[in-house]
Structure 1
Amino acid sequence: MGNPPKRIEIKGKLRPEKDEILLLDNHGLLNLFNILERQLEGLNALIREDKLKSYSQFCVHILMVISEGDLEEKIPGIEKELEELTTYIRGLIERKPRHLEFFRGILETVEVAHVRLQELNEDRLSWRSIPLAEFRSRLNQFLSATERVSRGKFHFVYPPEEVSPLSYKINFQINSQNEELMAPPVLHDTIRDIVGNARKYSPPGTEITIVLQETEPPGIELSVSDSGIGIPETEIEKVVEYGYRATNAMDRNTMGAGLGLTKAYLLSRKFGGRFIIESTEGKGAKFQLSLFRPT
């Protein structure tokens, strides 16, 4: 039967430095512009246009801007540049239609970037009533962009579709008596981060289950489970540390900085909740995050 999964509630105190907090707050955007830069570099290798190189350098510049904490005042300029990139890529679709899927992937990444930049104007930590459809649409948008970036290496399917050797089955369950849930908007980031990790560390052909539900006392609970590589038992409590990656994940090029679990854990601490990891190395992991609504 094998050993049962190790279940540990993470309770250690994290004290990130000021620059680390900055990167935690913006690491979703960092990952996104990193992906966009790679997409543009890949396309430039195919069709060799100076504008592509210029837009690729623009992405590198934005990564530096985000890292230095000088983002807010530059958002209008970034938005304008992204709109110009969209116009340029649409022109390429007409001139070079055989690369259509590549172009669509870039356009989708740019669309997600627009959404993330708009999210920066929200009060991300104040609880509000979020429609269930918004939880689903935000996650689906992220997964669709991730799928296109893979360039056919994998795709996502949803119930009642059956999983295939090149797909991940996404089973997103929301348990609520209403059409809305009270939650801080930053929870969208957490869902994307943990589901993204589950995909990165699970082989195609597996199922990723996401459960979102209300709790008593008033709050919200998120759990994400996968059947991937899991976490070595001695490292379960370490994976929430800033930039830490488990030793069995070192050989995977994930295009991420290893900050998603850190951010999720700090969020649970901020709202007096719990963060529980259940894992067996080689068999998968389950992450359970709870937040309690301030009174």
Structure 2
Amino acid sequence: MHEIEITEIPPLKPAEQTLLDMHSVLNVFNVLWSELTLIGLALADDPAHLREGQALIGRLVAGLRDPVASLEAARHIESHIAHVAAEIAESLAARPGAGRRPEVARSLASLESVFAVLRVRAREVLARAGRPELWLDMTVAELLSDFYEVLAAMQTGSHGRFGIVYNAAVQGPNDYYVDLRFESAVDDRLRLPLVFKDAMRDLVANARKYTAPGGQITAALFADHDRLRLAVRDTGRGIPMAELASVIDYGRRGSNVSDVRTMGGGFGLTKAFFVTKQFGGRFWIASELGHGTRVRIEIPLTPPAAAAS
């Protein structure tokens, strides 16, 4: 697998930088809009049936290019969720028993997962506001729990299209085998930038998107006294060799993935790169067509006295 180090990419415009910062929120909003479409089809055979909720999500997504509007959306996330939920409840009340239909029940379960993830993302956005270099002090178990919740939400949101397992012995043809290895040489505790956790999740989501069910995704993090080392690898379709350096650029995807339906903006790799550089780290990418992709990141650990927790 050919690996290169990425040291520089084209600079971003201010609106692009803001949208990059809100990438994980954008992903969740897009998933939420999709779920509202599915529920509308199931309840009324109309993808725009829940038009008020969809219009709200559309306005929130449009505001993600504005840092002030983004923070306002995060501060009022509970009222936004309540607005969407109320419209769904009203539609269900007008159709007794509809909520028990399998396709509706699946969407409602997925919606609860989406709401839970959205609340977490909003809290993280607000925590980073004014403190873009905020560091976290957490246990390995806490970080693993965060990722298990994210992966469970992905599985629920697939509506049965795929499963996620953590033991290769039970992997079926429509399952992803996910190997999470987070370790610390310092009392089983981790110090990492809050936004770096965001970038880690984006890389795992990318690996899932471009790997067919039945494949494997590995996310490995190791922390010692000096640095964080992250590797995310998949067994997906890979990236054409000639595009390996440019696929990191804002809004770029490999030319061989145009058929893949995604909920993001095409800049998960871009965000991971900029976060790496923000904290003085190094970024490598390796890929081989038909065999998958690997991203490696190293970030020096700021002395504890110099970092906020």
User: For residue 133 of structure 2, what is the aligned residue in structure 1?
Assistant: 125
Q: Distance in 2 between matches of 1:179 and 1:101?
A: 37
Displacement of 1:89:
5.0
Q: Distance in 2 between matches of 1:180 and 1:20?
A: 34
Code of the aligned partner of 1:292? P
User: For residue 61 of structure 1, what is the aligned residue in structure 2?
Assistant: 59
Query: Aligned-residue CA RMSD in angstroms?
Result: 2.1
User: For residue 266 of structure 2, what is the aligned residue in structure 1?
Assistant: 258
Displacement of 1:187:
1.8
User: For residue 307 of structure 2, what is the aligned residue in structure 1?
Assistant: none
Q: Which runs of 5+ in 2 are unaligned?
A: 304-309
- Which of residues 42, 45, 60 in structure 1 aligns to 2:41? 45
User: For residue 107 of structure 2, what is the aligned residue in structure 1?
Assistant: 102
CA deviations on 1:53-99 (whole Å, 9 max, x unpaired) are: 21122111111122333122343433212134346657849842122
CA deviations on 1:20-61 (whole Å, 9 max, x unpaired) are: 101100011111111101110111111139972211221111
- Which of residues 249, 270, 279 in structure 2 aligns to 1:271? 279
TM superposition score normalised by structure 2 = 0.87
Code of the aligned partner of 1:61? R
User: For residue 5 of structure 2, what is the aligned residue in structure 1?
Assistant: 9
User: For residue 85 of structure 1, what is the aligned residue in structure 2?
Assistant: 84
Q: Distance in 1 between matches of 2:34 and 2:294?
A: 30
Q: Distance in 2 between matches of 1:43 and 1:200?
A: 23
Displacement of 1:160:
6.0
Conserved? CA contact 1:33–1:63, under 8 Å: yes
Code of the aligned partner of 2:115? V
2:110 counterpart of 1:111: no
Give matches, 1:238-257, under 5 Å.
Answer: 238-257=246-265
Code of the aligned partner of 2:40? N
CA deviations on 1:105-136 (whole Å, 9 max, x unpaired) are: 01110111111111112135222312212211
Give matches, 1:135-146, under 5 Å.
Answer: 135-146=143-154
Displacement of 1:145:
1.7
Q: Distance in 2 between matches of 1:76 and 1:121?
A: 7
Code of the aligned partner of 1:80? S
Segment of structure 1 superposing worse, 161-170 or 84-93: 84-93
Gap change, CA 1:268 and 1:77, over 3 Å in 2: closer
Q: Distance in 2 between matches of 1:133 and 1:201?
A: 27
TM superposition score normalised by structure 1 = 0.91
Q: Distance in 1 between matches of 2:87 and 2:184?
A: 44
Conserved? CA contact 2:231–2:296, under 8 Å: yes
- Which of residues 168, 190, 193 in structure 2 aligns to 1:181? 190
Displacement of 1:212:
0.4
Q: Distance in 1 between matches of 2:150 and 2:64?
A: 20
Q: Secondary structure at the match of 1:140?
A: helix
Q: Secondary structure at the match of 1:203?
A: coil
User: For residue 207 of structure 2, what is the aligned residue in structure 1?
Assistant: 198
CA deviations on 1:159-209 (whole Å, 9 max, x unpaired) are: 265221100011001122323211111122111111111111111111111
Q: Secondary structure at the match of 1:196?
A: helix
Q: Secondary structure at the match of 1:122?
A: helix
Conserved? CA contact 1:138–1:188, under 8 Å: no
Conserved? CA contact 1:194–1:260, under 8 Å: yes
Q: Which runs of 5+ in 1 are unaligned?
A: none
Segment of structure 1 superposing worse, 5-14 or 101-110: 5-14
User: For residue 306 of structure 2, what is the aligned residue in structure 1?
Assistant: none
Code of the aligned partner of 2:116? E
State the identity as a percent.
30
Segment of structure 1 superposing worse, 195-204 or 61-70: 61-70
